[in-house]
Structures are given as structure tokens and as C-alpha cells.
Structure 1
Amino acid sequence: MSHSAVAEQSTVLTEVSRGIDSPAFQAVLEEVRQRREEFDALGHVPVDMIERFKDVGIYRAATPKCFGGDALAPAEFLRMIELIAQADGSAGWVASFGSASTYLAALPFETQAKLYANGPDLVFAGGLFPIQPAEAVEGGWKVSGNWKFASGCKGADVLGVGIGGGQGGKPRTALFPAAQVEIVENWDVVGLKGTGSHDLRINGEVVSDEWTFIRGGKPNIDEPLYRYPTIAYAAQVLAVVNLGLARAALDELKDMASGRTGATGAPKLADRAYFRVETAKIEADLRSARGFFYESTTQVWDSILAANPVTNEQVSLLRLSAAQMARVAANVVQRAYTLAGIVAIYSRHPLQRYLRDSMVVTQHAFLGEGIYDGAGSVMLGVDPFPGFL
């Protein structure tokens, strides 16, 4: 067998060992399920769990192949996050930022080579807003300010912050080693408690131009993943967290259905016609939204592989399907909670967790009501708001 054939076989074996059906990935899912209360209590997903995510390829999924990464097809990565979120929403949210290295493809090629010099498993997190003005200095920028919502920052290798000098509604991002950034631990919320989405603070650190980039800007890597719409992908990886939460809620509901009679002595849930009808309806709604979501993803990816340019209509459908799925999935969780009855009001009931977490997902700006306005604008031939495309 030739050296190239051996290398190719090795790559295939490595990918199989890291796939969603691999024992390693299934073990990670079980560990997430067992530790989710710990994540909530800590307020973040700890570093040892981040290392476990590295083991199954989460943090090389968006690293370019030229630097030893996997550069996975989006649907493959989204399915991984869907399953992790089904085990725990916070863990799914933090793992979803394994896709964020797509942003880094806009860095100069030489800078990326330095970034991945120690290996492809890079953990990047950021707090981009509010955009802070930076002082131009020779060869770079002097950066100071506070930034919010840096999910997963406590386990990151590098942190990005938003500074002035962006274009087309896309901010310039300055990249720093995590040690140069202060984490202001103020994440005190109702849902997605374990994401550790604290504030970031920097006081007068200087960053050279080569370590800044336009978020969603033109990539300097010529591989298929970096032709996939970056901002749309960023919205998708967050939306799919709600898909995992909705599936977990439905599984919980099904487990409850045959297991108990009502507090008043009423029939088991599965023996009630209204319960069966509504369960079927919400299953159909969830599968419909999921189908739209993955269909849009696959169509754009196949088009990219066929060397076609991505169209505005394709970007719009990706963003629309993400926003729609996030909302449908949250609604599914709410309906499951209602069907479960009085037992679901207890704070430690699983449906309480799914309810709180799913509501947080829909609050993200990438998935807000304005996305429907942007999508409608594209459909009707009107210019959408800046940054939509």
C-alpha cells in the first residue's frame, strides 16, 4: 500500500472514531448527561469537559484541513451539537462555538499558521458587543473596554473582542491570547446557566493588524467550508441547540406518558386522547422545522461543492430556517411542559431545565424577530438590513 493510501486510510479511521456513532462520542454524551447539574452550579463548562470535546473533534471541526483540521460539512457538525444539546443545553451551546474558527479564516494566512502551530484543536470565544472604539497606533490598535456575552470564555485559548473599523455592518474583531483578557464573572441568569457567558475586559492592550479581522469577512482559506456563509452558520449552530432541547423534552414527555396516573386519579397520560393528539402534532411541527433546517443546509453545501457561488436567496433561507427552527423548538418545549401537568412545576424536573434554556436561545440577536424582516426583504427584492447577508 502506498504512503498516500495509508494516510488516507488513517484519516478515514480517525473520522470514524470521532463520528456521532462512535463509542467515544457516545461516552461524551453520557458524561454530559451525568454532569449537567455540575455545569449549572459552576456557571460554566469546565476545562476538563472542553478537553473531552476536543477528543471527539468539536474544536477541529472548523479548522482548515491545510492546518490539520477536519473542516466538517456543516450538517455533520450541526448534528453533533444537536445531540450534545439533547444531553444538556449549556454544553451544546458551548460546544457550538467549535464552529467559530470559520470566522478566523478571515485572518491573514500567515497569522492562521501561527494560530494553529500547536495543533488544530483551538478553542475560540468572544464578546464582540458593544463595539468599542480602539486607538490606532503604529502597526495596530490599542484596545480598551468591556464586552458582553462571551460564551465559553473560561475554557478558551484565544478571545476576540469587537473594535471599530468594520464594514457593511460586520465588526472588526481583535484577537488576544486568553491570558491577556480579564473575565468579569457576572453570568447570573435563568437559563443556559452553564455557558459561562461572562463579560470581557481589556485595559490598554495593543494588538497588531495581523491579529484583527472582519467578522464574516472574506476568507483567506480556499476550502469549501469557508465558502459557506459565515454569519448564517453562526446562527445555525445556536438554533440547533433548541432542536436538541425540544427532542429531550419530547423524550421526557413520552417517558412520563405511560408511567403514572394523575394526582386526582385520572387515567395515565397515554390513555388520554387530547394528550395523544397534541403529542403527535408537536412531533410533526418539530420534524417539519428540522427538515427545513437541514434541507437548506444540505442544498447550500451541495451547491458549494459543485463550485457554484452562494446566492443571497440561499443565505436568506439559511437564516430563515434557523430562526424558524429556534422558535418552533421553543414552542415544542412549552407545549410539552403544558402537557406534563402539575409535576413539571418542580424546579428539578427536567422540563423546567428545557423550558428555561430554550427561551434563552430565542433571545439571541441572530435568531430574533428581525430575521424574518431580512428574509422577507430578500424574497421581495428589497435590500435587507446591514449584516443580514
Structure 2
Amino acid sequence: MTVEMKNQNLNKTLLNRVLDEVRARRDEFETKRHVPKDMIAQLKELGIYRAHVPKCFGGDGLSPSEFLKMIEAISEADGSAGWVASFGSAQVYLAALPKETLAQVYANGPDVAFAGGLFPVQPAKKVEGGYIVNGVWKFASGCKGADLLGVGIGTGQGGKPLTAVLKPEDVEIVENWEVLGMRGTGSHDLKVKDVFVPDDWTFVRGGAPSIEEPICQYPSIAYAAQVLAVVNLGVARAALNEVSQTAGRASITGAPKMADRAYVRISIAKAEATLRSARAFFYEATDAAWESIMKGDGVSADQTSMLRLAAVQATRAGAEAVQAAYMLAGTSAIYDGHPLQRHLRDAMVVTQHAFLNESMYDGAGSVMLGVPPMPGFI
């Protein structure tokens, strides 16, 4: 066995161990309404938070598909854990910080967890050498386990959010994540009062990177949509697996088993085909953009549009597959503790994200027809 094969086996063993831990603790995440720091530590061990850290700072240099498939696997185990893990992609955002700042960020190693609550943007007071930051920001997923936190303090180049990076001790987490779906993401509000942030600890989200590595050339806003969309591919797989595993059980009413009913077989096959088709498109678009970067051609507007389109389609197809599984499961699925309850609630939350809503189809259609898309789409 080669060294490479041994490393692959070790990585697979570690992934399976982490996935088992996530499955065993997903009720805990939901009850606590966040993924605890000791679980974040295991995600760090798995390499989630160093996957896209620049190699010059000890990162692993994974391709987008490699990272996305890890998030998909974690999301199959638990949607909230997958959502929190997906913010390992934020290192692509952080590459817009100055090199000297990045050296400080990764001074103790590449396993740095970043979380942000960028909106609503709160204009900060400009002072000599930086900004005085005040305000409250929403939807800071994973904030309770983060090593660094970002908040939106204005607009930068191209109207994109200017982001201030802060230490956890400078931020108050307002625990108000009272939702039905994605409960374990801990997407609480962030509150900051009179904190000075130096200029070199701010960056424009989606701005030009200071590091010249391939992953830094990948469209960061499109990628932010992808890492969330892939969560629904994992949640949908879990939902369809749940139906398949229970289809052979006897009905409490004496009716034929689910597997013996033609409409169940037809519905599960259609859901499987829809999910696999969306997944294939998703990774096809991802790999096409990455291959273009690796060849030195960058990513075209058309390719970026396809990334956005594939992300929203994966989100919708995943949600539809979960809904189909729920409909097939019958009355057993209405109970609080049934796995499909969580899958259904989680999948519908993903569809509501601003990067993944119905307007993304309009943006992609605009690019296809040569019409200027909405601002920020490309």
C-alpha cells in the first residue's frame, strides 16, 4: 500500500468517526441551538477550517469539489452541523485581508473558524488608522464556536460589504436564534459597542485577494451560495435513505408495506432521479470553473452564472426530495422525534437564504439571454 493510499484510508476513517459523532449528538445541537466548541474542534481535526487556507499559511489547498463533498457528507449526518462546517469556506473571503494581517490570523496554525453577521450593514465611524464599530448584526451562524467574527460596517468596492474582523471577546452574542429549522446553527445576533478595528483588519467581502493561489480566484460570492446549497443535497440524501430503510416495515393499519405500493416506488424513483440530476449539474459546474482556473483562464461570467444556477437548483431539488420523502412516510413522520421532521424543517430553511432564492433563476436567465443581471449576481 502506497503512502497516498494510507493517507486516504486515515482520512476516511477520521471522516467516518466525525460523522458518527455528529449523528450521535444532533439532538444535542438542536437542544442547545448551536454546535459546541468540542465538536468544532473535531471539524478542525477533519480539516474543514484549513481546507481553503492559503498553502503559504499551512492550508490544505483542497479543490472546491473536495470541500463541498465533505460538507455534503456532514449535512447528511445533520443539516445544522453541515451548515456550520460550510463556513470553513470563509477563508476564501479572508484572503482579501492584507498579507500581513493573514500572517497574524494564522500565526498559531491554519485551523481558524470564522463566522460573520454582515447584515444589516452598520456604518462605522472612521477614525485615524481604523474604525469605531457599533451595532447589531443578524444571522451569525456558528458564532459560538468561532475564533474570529466579522460584521458589516459599510460598503466597499462595487458596493460590496466592508467587513470588520473582531475577536470573540470584543463581541456580545445575543442568543435569540428561536427558529424551527436549522436550530443547531446558532445563528444568533452579534452586538458590538465602541470597539476600535484597525484598517488592516477590514476587507471587502468578495474583494480582490491579497494571495495568489488558485482557490482565491474562485468566485467567492458564488461559492458562498454553493457551500449552503450543498447542505440540501446532504439533507435530501438522508431523507430518501430514511424512506428506503423503512419501506419494508409492516403498516400499523394492515395495508401493504410501502415497498409493495406502486405509487411509493414511482415517487421514490422520481425523487432519486431529480436529486441525482441536480447533484450532477452542481459538481459539473464546480469542476468546470475549477479546471478553467487551473488552466490559467480564470472563471468567465457564464461559468459564474452556472455556479449560481446550479446552487439554486440543488437547493430546490433537495427540498423537493425531502418533501417527497415526508409525503411517502405517512403519519409516522408527523411526530416530533421522527428524522424526517428535522430534515423537512432544515431543508426549507436553506431555500430561504438570500443567495438561493427564486431571483437567482432570473439572474442566470439574464446572463443566458445577454441582459445585464441583478447587481452582485456575477
Tell me, yes or no, whether TM beats 0.5: yes
> What is the aligned partner in structure 1 of residue 370 from structure 2?
381
**CA-CA distance at 1:165 after TM superposition:** 3.2
**CA-CA distance at 1:179 after TM superposition:** 1.1
For 1:25-58, what per-residue CA distance to the aligned partner results, in whole angstroms no more than 9, with x for missing partners?
Answer: 1000000000000000111000000000011101
Give me the whole-angstrom Cα distance separating, in 1, the residues matched to 2:363 and 2:60. Answer: 32
SS state of the match for residue 60, structure 1?
coil
The residue correspondences of 1:311-326 to structure 2 (distance < 5 A) are 311-326=300-315
Give me the whole-angstrom Cα distance separating, in 2, the residues matched to 1:232 and 1:201. Answer: 28
Give yes or no for the alignment of 1:134 onto 2:133.
no
Give me the whole-angstrom Cα distance separating, in 2, the residues matched to 1:298 and 1:350. Answer: 32
**CA-CA distance at 1:118 after TM superposition:** 0.5
> What is the aligned partner in structure 1 of residue 108 from structure 2?
118
Contact in 2 for aligned 1:125/1:150 (Cα 8 Å):
yes
Contact in 2 for aligned 1:18/1:56 (Cα 8 Å):
no
Segments of structure 2 that go 5 or more residues without pairing to the other structure are none
SS state of the match for residue 103, structure 2?
helix
Give me the whole-angstrom Cα distance separating, in 1, the residues matched to 2:51 and 2:6. Answer: 13
> What is the aligned partner in structure 1 of residue 277 from structure 2?
288
Contact in 2 for aligned 1:44/1:194 (Cα 8 Å):
yes
The residue correspondences of 1:130-169 to structure 2 (distance < 5 A) are 130-169=120-159
> What is the aligned partner in structure 2 of residue 191 from structure 1?
181
Give yes or no for the alignment of 1:212 onto 2:225.
no
For 1:271-327, what per-residue CA distance to the aligned partner results, in whole angstroms no more than 9, with x for missing partners?
Answer: 011111111111000000000000000111011101102110000000110001101
Alpha carbons of structure 1 residues 272 and 13: separation in structure 2 relative to 1, 3 Å: closer
Contact in 2 for aligned 1:187/1:198 (Cα 8 Å):
yes
Counterpart of 1:332 (choices 306, 321, 333) is 321
Counterpart of 1:342 (choices 322, 331, 348) is 331
Give me the whole-angstrom Cα distance separating, in 2, the residues matched to 1:135 and 1:14. Answer: 54
The residue correspondences of 1:80-95 to structure 2 (distance < 5 A) are 80-95=70-85
SS state of the match for residue 186, structure 1?
coil
- The one-letter code matched in structure 2 to 1:385 is M
> What is the aligned partner in structure 1 of residue 229 from structure 2?
239
Counterpart of 1:356 (choices 345, 357, 365) is 345
Give me the whole-angstrom Cα distance separating, in 2, the residues matched to 1:383 and 1:219. Answer: 25
Counterpart of 1:302 (choices 275, 291, 298) is 291
Alpha carbons of structure 1 residues 17 and 210: separation in structure 2 relative to 1, 3 Å: farther
**CA-CA distance at 1:167 after TM superposition:** 2.7
Give yes or no for the alignment of 1:50 onto 2:40.
yes
For 1:87-124, what per-residue CA distance to the aligned partner results, in whole angstroms no more than 9, with x for missing partners?
Answer: 00000000000111100000011110111001000000
Give me the whole-angstrom Cα distance separating, in 2, the residues matched to 1:298 and 1:334. Answer: 29
Give me the whole-angstrom Cα distance separating, in 1, the residues matched to 2:337 and 2:52. Answer: 36
Give me the whole-angstrom Cα distance separating, in 2, the residues matched to 1:115 and 1:93. Answer: 23
> What is the aligned partner in structure 2 of residue 16 from structure 1?
8
Contact in 2 for aligned 1:145/1:202 (Cα 8 Å):
yes
For 1:239-276, what per-residue CA distance to the aligned partner results, in whole angstroms no more than 9, with x for missing partners?
Answer: 00000000000000001111222x32110000011111
> What is the aligned partner in structure 2 of residue 37 from structure 1?
27
Alpha carbons of structure 1 residues 94 and 14: separation in structure 2 relative to 1, 3 Å: farther
Give me the whole-angstrom Cα distance separating, in 1, the residues matched to 2:335 and 2:9. Answer: 40
Contact in 2 for aligned 1:168/1:386 (Cα 8 Å):
no
SS state of the match for residue 180, structure 2?
coil
- The one-letter code matched in structure 2 to 1:234 is A
TM-score, with length taken from structure 1 = 0.95
What is the aligned length? 377
**CA-CA distance at 1:17 after TM superposition:** 6.0
Contact in 2 for aligned 1:289/1:325 (Cα 8 Å):
yes
TM-score, with length taken from structure 2 = 0.98
- The one-letter code matched in structure 2 to 1:251 is N
Segments of structure 1 that go 5 or more residues without pairing to the other structure are 1-8
SS state of the match for residue 206, structure 1?
strand
- The one-letter code matched in structure 2 to 1:338 is M
Identity of aligned residues (%): 63
TM-align CA RMSD: 1.3
Alpha carbons of structure 1 residues 303 and 15: separation in structure 2 relative to 1, 3 Å: farther
Give me the whole-angstrom Cα distance separating, in 1, the residues matched to 2:10 and 2:368. Answer: 39
Give me the whole-angstrom Cα distance separating, in 1, the residues matched to 2:328 and 2:16. Answer: 30
SS state of the match for residue 321, structure 1?
helix
- The one-letter code matched in structure 1 to 2:202 is T
Give me the whole-angstrom Cα distance separating, in 1, the residues matched to 2:10 and 2:372. Answer: 42
Moved more, 115-124 or 373-382: 373-382
